[in-house]
Every structure is written in C-alpha cells, then in structure tokens.
Amino acid sequence: MTVIVRFAPSPTGRLHIGNIRTALLNWLYAARHGGQFLLRLDDTDRERSTEAFADGIRDDLAWLGLTWVREERQSDRMGRYGDMADRLRASGRLYACYETEDELQRKRARQRARGLPPIYDRSGLRLSADDRVRLEAEGRRPHWRFRLSNTEAARGDQPMPTLVDWVDLIRSDQSVDIGSLSDPVLVREDGTPLYTFTSVVDDIDFGITHVIRGEDHVTNTGVQVDIFEALGAAPPRFAHHSLLVAADGQALSKRLGALSIQSLRDDGIEPMAVACHAALLGTPEAIAVYPDLATLAEHCELERVSRSPGRFDIAELRALNGKYLHQLPFAAVSERLAAMGIGGGEAFWLAVRGNILRVEDAKPWWKVVVGPIQPLIEAPDVLIAALDALPAEPYDDTTFAAWTATIRAQTGVKGRALFHPLRLALTGQEAGPELKALLPLIGRARAMERLAGRAG
C-alpha cells in the first residue's frame, strides 16, 4: 500500500506554528514511508477564504521545503459533494430538518431542564411529506443531518450509546460514543456542505490512507468513521497528535498572529529550525537541528509522539536557529550576505557564524571588520606594545597567536589582561568572534588606527 497523506488548511489566514506542525508530521510520515503528500485547500467558507491566503499557504509550505504531488480545492468539487449527499439521502442516512437556530436553542434548554443531554431529538425524521411542504411554504429551507448509526431508545427518542472504535497511531485504542452526539449537520440551508462531510468525500476520492491531525478532531473522527461506512468506504488510519501550548502551559490561540510562519520568517528564523522544532516537540527525540527534511524524517517517528501537549517557546526556537547557523556552510548563505552588502567571503562567515542567532546578526560584525568603529581603550601600555609588535601583512589564522606571543614576551602580560584590551581596541566589543579569525579581515591599517585609539 502506498502511503498517501494530506494537509488540509483553510485559506482564511496565514499558517502558524500550530498547524504547520500538522503539515510537517504528515510530510515526514510520507517521506519516511516512501509515500505521497497532498495539499487540499478547504475553501468552502466563501466569505473568509481568499486567493491571497491560498498563495500565502503555498509560499509558507514551499519555504519550509514541504513539496506536494497534488493540489485540490474543495470549491472545485461542489458537484461531487452534491452527488454523495444524494447517495446518503437515498439510503435514508441524510434527512431534512427545518428548525431555526433559535428553535434549536430552546430545545436544548428544555432538555437540560429535564436532565437530558442536549442533543438533537431527530424530530426531522418524523416529518411527513405534507409537513415538509408546509414548512417550505413558510419560506423555510432545510439543513441536512446525517443519521448516526445508533438506535433510538424506547423513551424520549434519545439515541442509545454506540461506540466507534479505532486504533490510533499515536493515542492507541480510541473510542467515541456517537450515541452521546447530535446527528451532525452535513449540508447547510444554502446547500453548502460542511467540513465533516467534505473531508470524508475527499479522503475517499483521493485514496488517503492516513489522516494525521490534531487531537481536537478525535470526536470528529468517530462521526466521520460512521460516514465512511455509510458511503461504503473503508476509513483510513488515524493519528491524533497533541496540540502545542506556550512555555507557561497556556493555549497558543491568542498568540498565533505573532507565531505565523511569515512572522517567524521575517524574524530571521531558518526553515529547518522551524521544521526541527515543530516536528520534534513532544517526542522523546532530543530537539536538534538536522541538515534537511529527509534526515529529520529518519528521526521523527509518529508512533512516539507524546499525548502530552508540546510546549512551544520562541526563545528555544531562536536558540535552535543559532545552532543551525553555527554549522551552516558559506554556500548556503552567500547570496543573502551579498544582498545585505556583506563581503569577506567564506572567511568572514566562518569567523562570525558561531556568534549569531540570525543571518542578519552578521551585519554588525561586518561593520566591525570594515569600520569605522570607535575603539575602547583599556591598558594603554599593552596597546602601545601591541602596536609596536604588529606584524606586516599578509595575515592568516596563525598571525594572532604569533603576535600575542611577542607581546607577552615583551611585557609579561598574559591571559585576560592581554586579550581583553586587544578585543576592546580592535572591535569595540566586550565579546565576539575569535580575534584570530577577525584580525586578517580587519587588516593591518585599520588595526593600527584602532590600537592607537583612533576610529578606523
């Protein structure tokens, strides 16, 4: 069996760290098993769905390296949903209901007052043809409910408990009591199909073998398994991963605008840092940076994802981003450095990459190299000796050690008392990249100016 998974965002906003985790777990599972990853745009919400958001979703996925073999849009499949709804109507599993939302609210309130669960009483099933004609003559249009596979009790027409069971790839044995649920609305009054229904039809038609999504869909799965079977189709395998929470344990829902993939990208976070952090949160695997998605897939086992929420901390992501940059070769950033006006080639990148968290953080160090900077003067006697001992060019990564050995021999100064004044004078900074790597980039002329206390 070829593994086929799908990521199904609604183009009503930009992707954020929470739903990109779902996309990653799907993509990595397909990659690990030699399968296929589909993109499905759930764009039946005509008022909120926009092409700009659809483009943003594609852009975010592409930036992360998540390629897809097929793209589908639910808005292109309305005829298919209508045909499948007709099948359910013909089998008696989809029935017309005419209550307004206000009437349904009052029904639920009465049921609660009687100590009954506030689920739909299936009164739509008891309407005669004459009743429907009369209601439609009043201007009412039906919404359509799916009759769940549970029997009705002798009293109160309340559904009897019926369990839908499946073995979840993450949560192990799962069951949902669909007898405790209202028959779900699958088609609105205006004929628009709802997610619970369209998702099942799409999964059947596209041959989806594994549905990997957040644990907030567990109850949906119980209902959807029933719809699969009503349509004569075998359900796919399901895996429901835990949701992300903030570092303090609170829900991320109010902070997702700041955690959109676009905002992380604008903040200088690298795509592989995002991928590694999001995919490995809540797993026993140590969160580390891997060079590419194929390698990450080897370390991401869906079956080992914890049922406990993953704690997302933006500070940890930024630190992971730094670790990723610290091992990144010059070829991977050369174009971006050039676009920022940074020269120095590979020597500069290798000198500074261990001291930055974002590629943009290299800019201040380029200013340190080319100047002018205002040197900070500490221990003038040491700097005078350093200036006198400064060797002629050319410089390489051995020059600094030889130079400081000469200064030490002449002055007897060593350790911090030697290196700290040199750093302050040459860079104007308390800490930073190794001076043995910076000195060849700074050059003799600028070094002389700075050791003399002049801007250079």
List the CATH number of the domain containing 114: 3.90.800.10
Residues 203 and 190 reside in one and the same domain = no
User: What's the CATH number where 20 sits?
Assistant: 3.40.50.620
Strands (E), 156-269: 163-168, 172-177, 185-187, 210-214, 237-241, 244-246
User: Cα–Cα distances in Å, from 155 out to 108, 123, 146, 195?
Assistant: 17, 14, 21, 32
Domain limit, last residue, from 242, 266, 296: 242
What are 398-456's pLDDT values in tens digits? 999 999 999 999 999 999 999 999 999 999 999 999 999 999 999 999 999 999 999 98
Name residue 268's amino acid.
Answer: G
The residue range of the domain holding 115 is: 77-196
SS3 content of the chain, % helix, strand, coil (to 5): 50, 15, 35
Threshold 0.85, pTM exceeds: yes
**Does 332 reside within a domain?**
no
Q: How far apart are CA 52 and CA 55, in angstroms?
A: 5
Let me know whether 163 and 82 are in one domain.
yes
Among residues 196, 230, 264, which one ends one of the domains? 196
| Same domain assignment for residues 84 and 177 | yes
Q: Domain check: are 83 and 62 in the same one?
A: no
| Residue 390 falls inside a structural domain | yes
What integer pLDDT is reported at residue 282 of this predicted model?
86
Q: 168 with 98, same domain?
A: yes
Same-domain status, 95 and 181? yes
Residue 361 lies in a domain: no
365 domain residue, yes or no: no
Q: Are residues 106 and 205 in the same domain?
A: no
What is the number of structural domains in the chain? 3
The tokens for 448 are 């002389």
Q: Are residues 179 and 99 in the same domain?
A: yes
For tokens 């750093």, the residue is 423
Kindly state the tokens that stand for 90.
């013909």
- 157 within domain boundaries: yes
Amino acid occupying residue 448: M
Q: Which residues of the chain carry a pLDDT beneath 50?
A: 153-156
Among the three residues 166, 181, 196, which one is the final residue of a domain in this structure? 196
The answer to whether residue 253 sits within a structural domain is: no
Tell me whether residue 258 is in a domain.
Answer: no
Q: What is the pLDDT of residue 255?
A: 54
Is 182 found in the same domain as 139?
Answer: yes
- My answer on whether 117 and 137 are in the same domain is yes
pLDDT given at position 258:
63
Report if residue 285 sits inside a domain: no
Buried b (16+ CB within 10 A) or exposed e, 355-378: bbbebeebbebbebbbbebebbee
Domain at 404, CATH number? 1.10.10.350
Indicate whether 225 and 190 sit together in one domain. no
82 and 180 in one domain? yes
